[in-house]
Structure 1
Amino acid sequence: MYPSSATTDAQWALIEPLLPPPGNAAGRGGRSEKHDRRLLVDAIFYLVRGGITWRELPREFPPRSTVWDTFTRWVRSGAWARLHDALRDQLRVRLGRRPQPSAAIIDSQSVRAADTVAGPSRGYDAGKKINGRKRHIAVDTNGLLLAVIVTIAGIQDRDGGLRLLARLRESFSTVALVWADAGYAGRMVTFATKVLAFTVEIVKRADDQVGFKLLHRRWVVERTFAWISKYRRCVRDYERRIDTSEAMIHTAMIMTMSRRLAR
């Protein structure tokens, strides 16, 4: 219907088996799903890609309340994260890697928050002069997302990094080496080494560096932020809830990875 967001047959073949079971599938009562699931997913992809509000969904899609309810239900159940992780593992195998990574790169990005974001869940990043939220992500050496934490923008990188590495360790026992920039130096490195069994390597800029230059490993995570920012809903943070904000990032990466796998 809309080329910017519509799933191709090859994409849908990848996504459909990984979605939660449809309503009333077990015959235990409750209403069965009225609308086509592919159309619901296309509507969510359209919103993430175009950066529109839920009220602005075109009439060709199911009712916006149905699309919203489906999206939030899958957020609460963790369905978006599971779908994302399954596609990432498939793409890693396609790229000649093992499903479980052994190394990661971490970084953060501050983004402005819209007026829909409540005061308690936003903050001010004095360094970037941004009032909003901060995304802390860990990626593999191909730039594929391994873990994401969204916090207020005012939190320091090393403090957000502690939470990010804890989540990374929960998901992956195989990761041993983590690259990070100088903002993570200090107590986070000590904690990661002694408690989480990570070896953290700080990648610093050369003292005599002039102008722009790609830094070892750090450019990979910056490219991932660029991938996420292609989706206009992720250029700013519009979400009232932190878990919804993280789900938007997962959805953006789901669109990116499913297209690569479907080629």
Structure 2
Amino acid sequence: MRAASSVPVVSRGYDGGKKVAGRKRHVITDCLGLLLLVAVTAADVGDREAAVPLLQRVRAAHRSLRLIWADAGYTGMLTDWAREKLHLVLEIVKRSDEPRFVVLPRRSVVERSLSWLMRSRQLVRDDETLPATSESMILWSMTMLMCRRLARRTHTTTTSMSLAA
């Protein structure tokens, strides 16, 4: 995510892979794509490095969680560490070898969640001074999204009941 000039240099970095100066958003979602946990780091922090505290936090918050699907950026010793220390199975969803675009079933859930969040204008660019404030804005946007869906579902159920009566 690109960071505004108001973001301190200490909390931003440069991601050489994507060629973007700013911050990275690391998210863990459930199977429906609803946000469980978010962490915002400088863009130069590696995925595996950021995953360690994120996995520890998700383990403490969700004790019944047993399996986490992740992309190839989280391979290596992290899978063994998660199994031994946190008793979590970290399953890597690998890309297809086909030259054309293929939707990967488990990765698409997180990508869809990130696109839902990007509909919030506040999250298109990172303007927040502190990473914790950015995390709060992401959580707030997901809360608004979930509330809208619940309200729409309740309204639909109420009107369909009244039509049936």
TM-score (norm 2): 0.90
Please list, as runs of the form range in 1=range in 2, the aligned pairs for 1:140-219 lying within 5 A after superposition.
Answer: 140-207=30-97, 209-219=98-108
The one-letter code sitting in structure 1 at the alignment partner of 2:99 is V
Aligned alpha-carbon RMSD (Å)? 0.8
Shift of 1:206: 2.1
**Is 2:139 the counterpart of 1:250?**
yes
**Is 2:21 the counterpart of 1:128?**
no
8 Å CA contact 2:96–2:102 kept in 1: the answer is: no
Question: In structure 2, what is the Cα distance between the partners aligned to 1:163 and 1:225?
Answer: 20
Shift of 1:234: 0.5
Residue in 1 that maps onto 2:124:
235
Question: In structure 1, what is the Cα distance between the partners aligned to 2:66 and 2:135?
Answer: 25
Shift of 1:145: 0.2
8 Å CA contact 1:132–1:152 kept in 2: the answer is: yes
Question: In structure 2, what is the Cα distance between the partners aligned to 1:254 and 1:140?
Answer: 14
Shift of 1:191: 1.1
The one-letter code sitting in structure 1 at the alignment partner of 2:7 is V
Identity of aligned residues (%): 49
Residue in 1 that maps onto 2:113:
224
Question: In structure 2, what is the Cα distance between the partners aligned to 1:241 and 1:223?
Answer: 26
The structure number with the bigger radius of gyration is 1
Deviations 1:59-87 (A, max 9, x none): xxxxxxxxxxxxxxxxxxxxxxxxxxxxx
TM-score (norm 1): 0.57
8 Å CA contact 1:149–1:163 kept in 2: the answer is: no
Question: In structure 1, what is the Cα distance between the partners aligned to 2:135 and 2:5?
Answer: 18
Q: Which runs of 4+ in 1 moved over 4 A?
A: none
8 Å CA contact 2:40–2:134 kept in 1: the answer is: yes
Shift of 1:164: 1.3
Structure 2: any 5+ residue segments left out of the alignment?
Answer: 153-165
8 Å CA contact 1:138–1:146 kept in 2: the answer is: yes
Residue in 2 that maps onto 1:118:
8
8 Å CA contact 2:2–2:126 kept in 1: the answer is: yes
Residue in 2 that maps onto 1:98:
none
